[in-house]
Structure 1
């Protein structure tokens, strides 16, 4: 799409394709959300959108994507990539930033269909957006945050070499709960072989950049 080049942006890894989602991709994402993305009695998100019935979970997942599309500006952007594994959309990997040309800091967030857990997909898709951040966009920092009881997310973060960056208190379902924040500096990032970014150059002005 000439006026919205993000539709052609993608990242490929040895096993995955991360791409700006098409409407067909969103339909598949709705299926993954309806099937379930975490076990019962656990809430990894600030907004408990995944505790509704399957049909509403699917709609919530799709509507969130529409909201990110409509709210995208160079000063405050979020790209939510559909993650494709063996030809099937399996989850979402997001990367977002505010005032990126000044701060050079990105944040990440993701979810993965429950039946695809335990295969290293979560780690690989996070590596992919770190590659976009550092190799493609010229980021200096990458931050992430997770509830202290979200052990799978924390395991991915530690595996990738982030450093502790503080604890924050939040209200989750009217109960106090801590999140752990982590940060990776560009000099601590290690480029992974087989990771490639496609069609980034036409998108740079949307991120507020002339060059990385």
Structure 2
């Protein structure tokens, strides 16, 4: 019988760091993702997300997250893809790190975003999971650029970016949920990347890259 991973290669991709395991979220793991989000990600009224999804009523949060995971899966193609990686620490689901790209074979550019539940914050895990996906993008996908952004007031996120070597890449103003926010873009290249002192372990890359036609 053909395995699910053979049918959907993103399920076979696993990134392992000294403290974390990053892998594509399966349906049976969505409840753990919802519970992690419900436990709290940020202070009330201070959403770091352009789409304030964490502020939905509790009964709407789960269906909204599930729809997002399914939408990203269904939309994966060589021309445009969003890879959603769950983050596990000591077998506990603690957050999500996503990597997305459009026209990757031509532009060789990825964008990243993430969230981490509050009880897991302040221990360097956010930096470790970002370093993992950036290492994967540069060393395995052969990306030339990794970009990200954060609200200009979100010093915690920008501090992680600076610690990994990201350079400031302009500010723009946009609607950020119900508010207008200044958003700081950041940009990283293999040359400016301040690499961690550990080696990323990767499984399932060849099948994943073939699935998306990454050259």
Q: Same fold (TM over 0.5)?
A: yes
Q: Which residue of 1 aligns with 2:123?
A: 119
Q: Which residue of 1 aligns with 2:191?
A: 187
Runs of 4+ in structure 1 over 3 Å off: none
Which deviates the most, 5-14 or 19-28?
19-28
Distance in 2 (CA, whole Å) between partners of 1:62 and 1:128 is 24
SS of corresponding position for 1:164: strand
Matched, 1:170 2:207: no
Q: 1:85 — aligned with what?
A: 89
User: SS state of the match for residue 186, structure 1?
Assistant: coil
Are the equivalent residues in 1 in contact too, given 2:83–2:100 (CA < 8 A)?
A: yes
- 8 Å CA contact 2:164–2:195 kept in 1: the answer is no
Give yes or no for the alignment of 1:17 onto 2:26: no
SS at match of 2:6: coil
Paired residues in the alignment total: 210
Query: Is contact 1:75–1:208 with CA below 8 Å preserved after alignment?
Result: no
Tell me the distance in 1 between the aligned counterparts of 2:102 and 2:90: 33
SS in 2 for 1:187: coil
Whether 1:65 aligns to 2:66 is: no
Provide the C-alpha distance between the structure 1 equivalents of 2:76 and 2:38, rounded to a whole number of angstroms.
26
CA RMSD in angstroms comes to 1.3
Per-residue displacement from partner, 1:149-196 (whole Å, max 9, x unpaired)?
A: 222211111111100100011012443211000101121224432311
Of residues 30, 37, 41, the one that matches 2:45 is: 41
Q: TM-score, normalised by structure 1?
A: 0.94
1:196 is matched with which residue? Answer: 201
TM-score (norm. length: structure 2): 0.93
